[in-house]
Amino acid sequence: MHTAADGVAIDIITTGDHWQSTWYPPSEVPTGTPHGSTGVCVVDGQVILVSHDRRYWEFPGGRPEAGEDWADTLVREVSEEACATVLDCRLLGFSRGVCLRGPEKGLVLVRALWRAEVRLGEWMPEHEMVERRLVNAERTWDALSLTAGWKPIYRRILAEAGIPAGE
């Protein structure tokens, strides 16, 4: 399985949709509608994953609110979804998705991807996430819930974050 390369589109085909996602380095903000931030959140050598249904596990992240920049969105989303405080963060890059087929055809969305050092707070979910899990960094790949098309992008996210990615 390959890792997303700078500027190379990857097809992501799901039921009814066809997207192309492209990785961009932090120095190259791609054009498109800002669609939020997602963070590989690390605390004491472990990575935080969150779930909205206790079956699908992902990194905390979400869409921007009015007036937020990429970092502001990350800080707020990590607080809301993971009940954690961002202490330090580093921009890893951007994912730019173009919808080629489906209800959102023509839409171009850009998401900022981060590595964040965080401090855990008490787990008191108030938003869409119902569970938080800490996994050892080397087990992150296996704990994520990924569809095949997204794997090259997530391998790149983990590589940039210094987290091992499985096969």
* Per-residue pLDDT, 167: 63
* Per-residue pLDDT, 1: 62
φ, ψ of residue 113 to 5 degrees: the values are -115, 135
Q: What is the mean pLDDT of each run of 10 residues along the chain (167 residues)?
A: 92 91 98 98 97 97 97 98 98 98 96 98 93 97 92 96 85
* Per-residue pLDDT, 35: 97
Please tell me the pTM assigned to this model.
0.95
Which domains are seen in the chain, by residue range?
A: 9-161 (3.90.79.10)
* Per-residue pLDDT, 32: 98
